[in-house]
Amino acid sequence: MTGEARQSFDGDAVLRFAPHVKFRFDEMRQAWIVLAPERVLLPDEQAVEILQLIDGERTVDSVIDELVRRYDAPRDVIAGDVVKMLQDLVDKKVLRR
Amino acid sequence: MTAVEPPLALLAELTHRCPLRCPYCSNPLELSRASAELDTASWKRVLGEAAALGVLQVHFSGGEPLVRRDLAELVRHATEVGLYGNLITSGIHLDAGRLAGLVEAGLEHVQLSFQDADTASGDRIAGLAGSQEAKRRAASLVREAGLPLTVNAVVHRQNLDRLGEIIELAVALDADRLEVAHVQYYGWALRNRAALLPRRDQLDAATATVEAARARLAGILVIDYVLPDYYAHRPKACMGGWGRRFLNVTPAGKVLPCHAAETLTGLEFPTVEEASLSEIWYRSPAFERFRGTDWMPEPCRSCERREIDWGGCRCQAFALTGDAARTDPACALSPDHGLLVGVRADADEAAPDFIYRQHSAGSRRSPQLVSSPA
């Protein structure tokens, strides 16, 4: 058994939270948090908005489309930010295909 | 001072009992006996209090937590009160049945220690024949059970040259993460420092190995690696700052801001029998003592990094200078930084034999607390 190859993704990829990673609202802190092995992520408001769109059904492209619609911002700017954040979380094994 | 936030994580040291005898063990020199350990009901109460206080994750640790027969019951209780459960284990005594019970109880993740990549060396450092094989078996059980696996490798002079092989071992075991932890020198490790402190050239080679592996293994293996304090220029934010992120409950129920805090003299750490975790976190003098920045001496007090590294490690400051309230000597700005320069020269001498951890060894010889420049 050896590690799988690095996961990269295209716009039509559907990402989901890795098993044993939990994205939930913490009542005490009144904030969304990500719980992963020995790691707690405290995403800011923008990151939360992206993570809320990671539902195991939307493709990366449709996540970007939705954010473009909400913010009325140039698509390439939003796409750059979103893909960078998602790739980082895939590398950290928080998200996977 | 800004408002005190609730802690993120609880290190639950269920026991000091352990089949291994690692010479850098982070348990104190005076190990608790089984008879002094908190019972199941007390641990359940502590887990409930932790969740109510805002703790998000619990790390079941020790010693070896698997020696506690009630481990699955405690994991289940943690799950029920909403805590994310990690198991920190040597892997000895882990079998499929035991693991299935833990998974069923809601365990989320296993951190498994390896003492080396080489079997003979791993067994020698752990002080237990057959341990390396048992660990390999434990790793496959964890992955077969579908749990994420972190390999923890404590590195030092006697295994650092094999860091590349340790990385390959973690990949071969299908680990998600490798935590490369340099030995921290207090307690048992301070006693064995001359046998453990790496040489500068070893360290530089290891750091280069990690950097190359990180690039090659991006997305396959996450490698956590921090430069060791004895070769550092700036201190680490030990525990994310005293009383800021973590709390630790010892087998006998003492509540500490970090697992090594009992090495500090002059602080009274309350027990879970005396007060609730919330009272201890927010109001005990021990947690207040080094919290925030008000306690800091110069050069910390006026330093722009004071809320980045929080003055470094109190236990290291105490171990090296005899005064826990001094700037961590790992900082190049510390007036005591020269102490580390002297110790580093020792790494060029021949390594003495290990003094293995054992019960009651602590009372026979007191640790060297103050080191003078060579």
Q: Which residues is B180 bridged to in the sheet? A: B153, B225
Give the B window 147-166 contacts with A, CB below 8 Å: 147-148, 150
- Is B86–A6 a contact, with Cβ atoms under 8 angstroms apart? no
Residue A7, pLDDT > 70, answer no
Rounded distance between C-alpha atoms, residue B267 and residue B254, angstroms? 12
The pLDDT tens digits of the residues spanning A56-94 come to: 999 999 999 999 999 888 999 999 999 999 999 999 999
Q: Which residue of B220, B224, B277 to mutate against A (max A Cβ within 10 Å)?
A: B220
Output the CA–CA distances (angstroms, integers) from residue A20 to B95, B151, B260, B323, in the order listed.
Answer: 21, 17, 29, 42
pLDDT at residue B273 in the model: 97
User: In chain B, where do the E strands start and end?
Assistant: 9-13, 57-61, 84-89, 109-114, 149-155, 177-182, 222-225, 246-249, 255-256
Under the banding of pLDDT at 50, 70 and 90, the label for residue A34 is: very high
- Please name the member of A18, A38, A90 whose beta carbon is closest to the beta carbon of B59: A38
- Is A6–B174 a contact, with Cβ atoms under 8 angstroms apart? no
| Three-state SS at A96 | strand
- Is A7–B6 a contact, with Cβ atoms under 8 angstroms apart? no
Contacts of A77 (CB under 8 A, 6+ apart): none
Please check whether residue B108 touches A, CB under 8 A. Answer: yes
For residue B245, give the DSSP letter: S
ipTM, two decimals: 0.91
- Compute the residue count for chain A: 97
- Is B171–A40 a contact, with Cβ atoms under 8 angstroms apart? no
- In this prediction the pTM is 0.92
Angle CA A49–A51–A55, to nearest 5: 115
pLDDT at residue B40 in the model: 98
pLDDT at residue A5 in the model: 56
Residues of chain A positioned with their CB less than 8 A from the CB of B57: 35, 38, 40
- Please name the member of B57, B86, B174 whose beta carbon is closest to the beta carbon of A3: B174
Give the B window 6-35 contacts with A, CB below 8 Å: 6, 8-9
Minimum distance, in Å, between the CA of residue B157 and any CA atom of chain A: 27
pLDDT at residue B3 in the model: 85
Minimum distance, in Å, between the CA of residue B144 and any CA atom of chain A: 11
Contacts of B202 (CB under 8 A, 6+ apart): B157, B160, B161
Please check whether residue B191 touches A, CB under 8 A. Answer: no
The neighbour count for residue A7, using CB atoms within 10 Å, is 17
Contacts of A65 (CB under 8 A, 6+ apart): none
Residues of chain B positioned with their CB less than 8 A from the CB of A37: 86, 108-109, 111, 148, 150, 176-177
Q: In a structure prediction context, what are the per-residue pLDDT tens digits for chain B, which is 374 residues long?
A: 568 999 999 999 999 999 999 999 999 999 999 999 999 999 999 999 999 999 999 999 999 999 999 999 999 999 999 999 999 999 999 999 999 999 999 999 999 999 999 999 999 999 999 999 999 999 999 999 999 999 999 999 999 999 999 999 999 999 999 999 999 988 899 999 999 999 999 999 999 999 999 999 998 999 999 888 888 889 999 889 999 999 999 999 999 999 999 989 889 999 999 999 999 999 999 999 999 999 999 999 999 999 999 999 999 999 899 999 999 999 999 999 998 888 887 788 888 889 998 876 444 444 434 433 33
